[in-house]
Amino acid sequence: MTKGTAPDSRRTPGHLPALLYLAGQSLPVGAFAWSQGLEGACAEALVHDAPSLRVWLHGILRYGLERLDLPLLLRSYRAAAQKDRNAFLAWDALLKAGRESAELLLEEEQMGLALGRILHAQKLWPDWLGDCSCGYVAAFALAAERLGCLPEAEEDVACAYAISWLQNQVVTACKCLPLGQSAAQEIVIGLMAFVPDYVQGATRLADEEIGACLPALAIASSRHEEQYSRMFRS
């Protein structure tokens, strides 16, 4: 842009590259190693084809992410922007308490540690957090803030998290089911359209309304912990 030239109002938002990076499948946090109970659900035949997969993922997106992950990610993001250590750790603790199986909790912790190591290595870990660690949802919010996303971008951060989760789950399904790429992408594109509405729903939740109960997911994940043969970690 030359001096005296008005900026182009259509330019790419400054936070977009950071969110594409965080939502990208190449982010080395170990997401490929976990199934979030989906492999167990496939073993139990709760998920057995494309339609049942769509129902399963939509249910978790609507009754899990909208009610737990996304509202706590938004609060963690605000706490990070305000350098509020106590609030940040409190929201992280509440998120971990909402993981209904040992497997789901371990995934949250291990992926959070992996993203934290990236932030430490790139000298992006904030001094105000000290030597604390956090789960993946909180680490995702922290990474977005440290990579330059502004407070007004919080809904975009939540959308990026949800899209990343959705893509990881469909990749997992392709390894567990006879699911072709066309069918897989149809599911991603179809469910992706719901994400902005569920992010909006998450913004409207009061603190006392946060919480999710997904019994089928919890049972599938718990059984997966002792499943005889599995591809994903437990």
- Residues 6+ away with beta carbon under 8 Å from 144: 15, 18, 19, 22, 77, 153, 157, 160
In contact, 162 and 70? CB cutoff 8 Å: yes
The first and second tokens of residue 160, run together, are: 């990026």
The boundaries of the domain holding residue 102 are 35-224
**Alpha-carbon span 55 to 60, nearest angstrom:** 9
Give me the CATH number covering residue 51.
1.10.4190.10
d(CA 25, CA 199): 21
Q: Is residue 28 part of a domain?
A: no
pTM over 0.75: yes
What pLDDT sits at residue 58?
98
Domains in the chain, number: 1
pLDDT at residue 1, rounded to an integer? 35
pLDDT of residue 228: 85
- Residue 14 inside a domain? The answer is no
Both tokens of 144, joined, read 């977005």
Rounded mean pLDDT for each run of 10 residues along the chain, 234 residues in total: 43 84 93 95 96 98 98 98 98 98 97 98 97 97 97 97 97 96 97 98 98 96 91 90
Render the burial of 47-58: b for 16+ CB within 10 Å, e for the rest.
Answer: beebeebbebbb
Would 171 be classed as within a structural domain?
yes
- Euclidean distance between CA atoms 74 and 141, whole angstroms: 7
Position 2 in a domain: no
**Nearest residue to 202 (alpha-carbon basis) of 126, 141, 132, 144:** 141
Is residue 151 domain-resident? yes
Q: Kindly state whether residue 144 falls inside one of the protein's structural domains.
A: yes
What is the three-class DSSP state of 51? helix
**pLDDT at res. 105:** 97
Instruction: Report if residue 27 sits inside a domain.
Output: no
Residue 209 lies in a domain: yes
